[in-house]
Chains A and B, each alone.
Chain A
């Protein structure tokens, strides 16, 4: 008799079998019922996560100095141990983040009292290209307004 398939995320017997076809490439993920429910069997990100988690395991090479969490723990759980883990595992997770999130840098809100640096950088880039477009369209009034906004953002970013 053939060996029953094990869940890609834990060691339980897999009962949910997913196949995803992206540009002709077939990816298969086998999940136990609990993981399928947790991950959302229709969630495309589950494939990326399962991919990263099921890569061959070697001895732990990274350990969080704050909470003792290791890269092996991450492979088992798919979740980190504490906020500081992001410093320890941040570089190693870079590839996974791009796969799951398609981006690696925050451009949203910041807690009260912390300058929204990501948001400002994002706006700065947009304002620069808007200014180039305004100049090309000979909208010099608009370009001047954008120039002032750019100067203001650059100043704020230097001071933050």
Chain B
């Protein structure tokens, strides 16, 4: 089993077609859990961290969900393997940077549990598209199935005890990855972002905390984990996502109507550059692929092309480009390689038509 196997396996995020992913690319639930009586990973001694990893891996191996899944120990992977996993959102940068972290990933890649990150366990479930309840139900079942094997640290007053006060209580972080080119092009994103953060939601870039919003993709998640029930947290996020999706569609339609030819021209230029460029930086390709994605959503390009665009967004990331090449590449080498992958994938893309959505 290697990281390469994970990358080449078909999974929802890179191979699924469907209109429901037009704005919400994916839904994610994360639960922070810790073993009672064990120091948190950041304070635990090396033998304790090893013991924590063994206990957690053992418990996860018993669950049907992880049958024929993958167990990845960060200390046994190359730098490139770890970077690819971060780009796939299967592990966090923090987990990838330590030696004693591990990740247990289900065969279909919807569930990945990080062990020895900031907390002993970070249970993550990701579904393509907008499926808040379905994603939550899987996470809840995993949580309940692990409970009897691993006694979780819990207090009646404070709920699930975590290393950082920002996660205590439910330990729940629910998020949606959203593609908002309409709001960005219309210049409304700052306003939307402010409204969300004033109502207790965090807005982050595509690779999570502290990253830029490349490709007009944002991650929107709850901040508060204590004093609200899981249901209330999900309803609050769900209400806002619905609202943001509506605003995004309004912005897109308004742009398409008001700009007319200019709208299609802008998106067509991106297709032109992507199809003929010989050097593409990560940021440039992300932003132009965002235009192509918008073109698919708006009916300027056939909708069934969208998953190709989605796959290029993932596979155009620096570590993915190097993994595909089979060796490390410097920044120029990556730009050459990225351009060639994109050119090849878009070779038979048709010309853009007028918007129909």
Could you tell me the dominant secondary structure of chain A's interface residues? loop
11 new A-B pairs (CB below 8 Å) besides A42-B204, A43-B223? A37-B211, A39-B210, A44-B202, A79-B163, A81-B43, A103-B226, A104-B227, A106-B159, A108-B170, A118-B156, A118-B157
Would you give 6 A-B contacts (Cβ < 8 Å), ordered by A? A49-B165, A67-B39, A93-B165, A105-B158, A107-B227, A108-B229
Q: Is the CB of A82 within 8 A of B226?
A: no
Q: Which residues of A contact B (CB under 8 A)?
A: 36-45, 49, 66-67, 69, 73, 77-84, 86, 90, 93, 96-97, 100-114, 117-119, 122
Q: B152 at the A/B interface (Cβ < 8 Å)?
A: yes
**Chain A residues positioned under 8 Å from B39 (CB to CB):** 67, 81-82
Q: Which of B30-38, B239-247, B305-313 contacts A (4 or more CB under 8 A)?
A: B30-38
Q: Which residues of B contact A (CB under 8 A)?
A: 34, 36-40, 42-43, 93-94, 118, 140, 143-144, 147-148, 151-161, 163-166, 168-170, 172, 193, 197, 200, 202-204, 209-211, 223-230
Could you say which of B166, B193, B210, B227 contacts A103, with CB atoms under 8 Å apart? B227
Q: Is the CB of A97 within 8 A of B223?
A: no
A40 to B204, CA, bound (A): 8
> Given A37-B93, A82-B39, is A106 in contact with B170 using a C-beta cutoff of 8 Å?
yes
8 nearest A-B residue pairs (beta carbon): A103-B227, A106-B159, A83-B153, A37-B210, A40-B209, A81-B43, A108-B170, A101-B226
**Chain B residues positioned under 8 Å from A112 (CB to CB):** 144, 147-148
**Chain B residues positioned under 8 Å from A113 (CB to CB):** 147-148
CB proximity of A153 to chain B, nearest CB, Å: 15
**Chain A residues positioned under 8 Å from B151 (CB to CB):** 111
Q: Is the CB of B197 within 8 A of A42?
A: yes
